[in-house]
Amino acid sequence: MGFNFHLPVSAFFLAAVSLLPKATAQEAWEKCGFVAAEALLSANYPQEGTAGYFEEWIAERIARQPELNYRSSMTIPVIVHVIYYGEKTGSGANIPYEQVLSQIEVLNEDFNRMPNTNGYNTLDAGADIGITFCPATIAPDGSILDEPGVDRVDGGQLKWTMDQIQSALKPKTYWDPARYLNIWTVYMGTSRRDNVIGYAQFPSASGLEGLNDNGGLAATDGVVIDYRYFGSSEKGNFPNLVSPYDLGRVATHEVGHWLGLRHIWGDGGCGADDYCADTPGADGPNYDCATHVSCGSRDMVENYMDYTTDACMNVFTQDQKARIIAVLNNSPRRKELLTSDVCDIPVTKRIASTQVIVYPNPTPDAVQVEISNPLEFESAPTYDVALYDPSGRQVLATTATLGAANEVDLGALPAGLYILRISRADFSVHFKIIKAR
């Protein structure tokens, strides 16, 4: 594929709305509103420059990107703004918390080419991007989120057009995009053009004349996905989700755009470029996983940046990874994210949120120990359990697991008063237990 760094932006978008030769009339729809969103943005921010400008800028940075710049661990904090209209939590557009978590799980599988998941592939060109997405635990005001990664907002209306989302919803609800990847789940679709199931804001080049890095672009930065295509029906019972886009790949595709990836057909015919040499040229989007040959080779229908079904997708390529890394190392609002601390929780706050319940008390034989902590993200951590007699002598040692049913058997001990200590690293709590006869 030839590079064309001087393609004017208008031609770029015109090419994008050309006929889609491989799709039937029924299928020929814009699954993703990325191109339309870019057109809207470029109309509002002409100083952002042309698509050609961005490509020139990023190509330079990819070329001089040493292997060392491939960081060993990259974490991006995520906040999902769940936009609803009066529904109870867990119903309609006010999607359940578990549905959000299922989506974050899919992002982590796909961006890490995780073995034994849908995100794994054995392609030579296949890349492990190496990004971990974490649910943000800290809100912009420093408070701890009740539901890490989620911000629920009653948007005051049922359906949202792209124009309304861009001009009204996002500026009112976004969190600092240099600290959070903003994702909005909404109910979309009131006109043909807006009949997309997701879209994303492309990264900016830096150093553009007349452009404030964090200018108006910050208020719209992020990813928008219709709530019926957000999450994975393989990871829970989410009746909202609509097949065949119910495995979380709409978000993988849109986050790909947000990190600088283009559609693999370059939003044009065979001559259009996605600026990745290892994604074969294609003359348009594909909507299924069958073999499609165009522009002289088989289209990479498994690529997340095609329009195929969720079950078909499992590939980001090495060249796509190079673009993503260059964006994360250089692009305003993206490069700051890797040092954002909004997934961290101050230890004192985490300890304060630990709750331990011990019952029954008094007891003739055993006590149950229940430990919970809404801010604990380590999977099933264990606590030390120790029992002391009134003289301070330890008479029993065992462990208890957070979230599990833990029974401590006192049956062999003489009746009397005991002190039960439950501890872990920087946490400890004591209970007086009466062993009855």
Q: Which stretch binds Zn ion (CB under 5 A): 11-19, 25-33, 121-129, 164-172?
A: 25-33
Q: How far is the CB of 343 from Zn ion (least distance, A)?
A: 27
Q: Which stretch binds Zn ion (CB under 5 A): 29-37, 152-160, 312-320, 403-411?
A: 29-37
Position among 32, 58, 80, 400 found at the interface with Zn ion (CB under 5 A): 32
DSSP letter at 144 equals B
| Residue 32 vs 138, nearer CB to Zn ion | 32
Whole-angstrom distance, CA of residue 411 vs CA of residue 395: 12
Assess 265 for contact with Zn ion (CB under 5 A). no
Q: Which stretch binds Zn ion (CB under 5 A): 34-42, 94-102, 145-153, 324-332?
A: 34-42
Return the C-alpha torsion angle 135, 137, 142, 143, nearest 10. 130
**∠ CA 68-69-73, rounded to 5°:** 100
CA 238 to chain CA centroid, Å, is 18
Both structure tokens of 407 = 């029974």
Q: At what angle do helices 51-63 and 9-16 cross, to 10 degrees?
A: 100
| Residue 162 vs 408, nearer CB to Zn ion | 162
Q: How far is the CB of 378 from Zn ion (least distance, A)?
A: 36
| Residue 137 vs 314, nearer CB to Zn ion | 314
Q: How far is the CB of 223 from Zn ion (least distance, A)?
A: 11
| Residue 34 vs 133, nearer CB to Zn ion | 34
Assess 34 for contact with Zn ion (CB under 5 A). yes
Q: Which stretch binds Zn ion (CB under 5 A): 30-38, 101-109, 117-125, 419-427?
A: 30-38
| Residue 32 vs 387, nearer CB to Zn ion | 32
Assess 245 for contact with Zn ion (CB under 5 A). no
Both structure tokens of 35 = 């191109």
User: x-or-dash pattern for Zn ion, window 333-362, by CB under 5 A?
Assistant: ------------------------------
Residue type, 233: S
| Residue 32 vs 345, nearer CB to Zn ion | 32
Q: How far is the CB of 197 from Zn ion (least distance, A)?
A: 10
| Residue 32 vs 276, nearer CB to Zn ion | 32
Q: Which stretch binds Zn ion (CB under 5 A): 27-35, 127-135, 209-217, 379-387?
A: 27-35
Is residue 105 part of the annotated active site? The answer reads no
Whole-angstrom distance, CA of residue 5 vs CA of residue 53: 7
Q: How far is the CB of 36 from Zn ion (least distance, A)?
A: 10
Q: How far is the CB of 287 from Zn ion (least distance, A)?
A: 13
The residue annotated as part of the active site, out of 254, 376, 378, 407, is: 254
Q: How many CB atoms lie within 10 A of CB 68?
A: 6
- For 385, the enclosing helix (H) or strand (E) is strand 382-388
End-to-end CA gap in the chain: 84
Name the closest residue to Zn ion (Cβ). Answer: 32
Size of the site for Zn ion (CB under 5 A): 2
| Residue 77 vs 198, nearer CB to Zn ion | 198
Q: Could you write out the DSSP letters of every residue in 44-100? A: H-GGG--HHHHHHHHHHHHHT--GGGS-S-EEEEEEEEEEESSPPTTSTTS--HHHH
Q: How far is the CB of 32 from Zn ion (least distance, A)?
A: 3
**Bridge partners, 357 (sequence order):** 370
Region label for 26, one of left (φ > 0), alpha (ψ between -120 and 50) or beta (otherwise):
alpha
Q: How far is the CB of 29 from Zn ion (least distance, A)?
A: 12
Q: Which stretch binds Zn ion (CB under 5 A): 26-34, 151-159, 311-319, 389-397?
A: 26-34
What residues from 59 to 88 belong to the interface with Zn ion (CB under 5 A)? Answer: none
- For 408, the enclosing helix (H) or strand (E) is strand 406-409
Non-local (6+) Cβ contacts of 251 within 8 A are 103, 106, 107, 183, 198, 223, 225, 230
3-state SS string over 88-112?
CCCCCCCCCHHHHHHHHHHHHHHCC
Q: How far is residue 317 from each of residues 22, 139, 261, measured CA to CA in Å?
A: 23, 34, 11
What residues from 108 to 167 belong to the interface with Zn ion (CB under 5 A)? Answer: none
Q: Give the residues lining the site for Zn ion (CB under 5 A).
A: 32, 34
Catalytic residues: 254
